[in-house]
Amino acid sequence: MQNIWYQVLHPWHWLTYGQNASGVAAVGAVVAAAAAVLGLIGLYFYTRYTRSMMLLQQQTQRATITPILVSSGPVEFTPAEFTNSTAAQIGLIPPVATAYQPTLTIRNVGAGAAIYITSWVQAVTEKFEMGGSVIFLQSPETNSGDHPLAALLQGEPMEIKFGLMKPSQVKGRLLFVIQCRDAANGLHQLQLLYSNWPEGSVQMTMVHGPLNPPNKAN
């Protein structure tokens, strides 16, 4: 072994005389090993580059069909039902609202159409926080929305009216969810958290998924 490395480190011996077969073999083995290592390194970087280009292409293609929903204004709570007391009927006292109808106007600012639109609102606890990439499931306690359009193209607005809610419900924390799909059946949700009625404070996020298993809000 010492002889082999000596020949590798002193190539003029076999280069000059061309008679040291063991030195030539050793050098050939080292060169072959180095070529193999370099080949693996090149293959690794080529694979990474190819994968990065494929992911970039997929993201670019998805952006062309992805809807992005935003709220076009505040959540409106319109009084829909009132007390029927005699004093209120004759104008001695103002009527007291016993139910409100939430209304939300949204707009699609994304490049892709929003199709198969569904929507709902539900009360959430103080522990509930916005953020992350969680797609929510609609629970039986939710209040479904009514909207006239089955699809929402880029730049189009849409008004969504939800079922009547009691004053005690309106004064709590409410999660509005507008769910849709894109042309490739990808799932998307606009999630809007409303609180501090009647002044109203809103947190809003658009989630593209499913990135995580669907969860129920609580």
Predicted confidence at residue 213, as pLDDT, reads 46
Predicted confidence at residue 7, as pLDDT, reads 53
**Which string of DSSP letters, residue by residue, matches 16-33?**
HH---HHHHHHHHHHHHH
Quote the CA–CA distance of 102 and 142 in Å, as a whole number.
Answer: 13
Predicted confidence at residue 204, as pLDDT, reads 93
* Matching residue, tokens 């005690």: 168
**Which string of DSSP letters, residue by residue, matches 57-117?**
HHHHHHHTT---EEESSPPEEEEEEE---HHHHTTSS---EEEEEEEEEEEE-SSSPEEEE
Among the residues of 121-201, which ranges form H helices? 167-170
Cβ–Cβ < 8 Å for 69, 113: no
Cβ–Cβ < 8 Å for 155, 108: yes
Predicted confidence at residue 80, as pLDDT, reads 92
Could you tell me the residue ranges of all domains in the chain?
Answer: 2-63, 69-209
Quick one: 97 exposed, middle or buried, by C-beta within 10 A (0-12, 13-18, 19+)?
middle
Q: Which residues pair with 102 in a beta bridge?
A: 77
For the domain 69-209, what is the CATH code? 2.60.40
Quote the CA–CA distance of 148 and 102 in Å, as a whole number.
Answer: 16
Percent of residues in the chain assigned helix, strand, coil, to nearest 5: 30, 35, 35
Which residue type, as a one-letter code, is found at position 20?
N
User: What's the average pLDDT block by block, 10 residues per block, for the chain (218 residues)?
Assistant: 54 53 59 67 64 53 82 92 76 83 96 94 90 85 87 94 93 94 93 90 88 54
Predicted confidence at residue 71, as pLDDT, reads 94
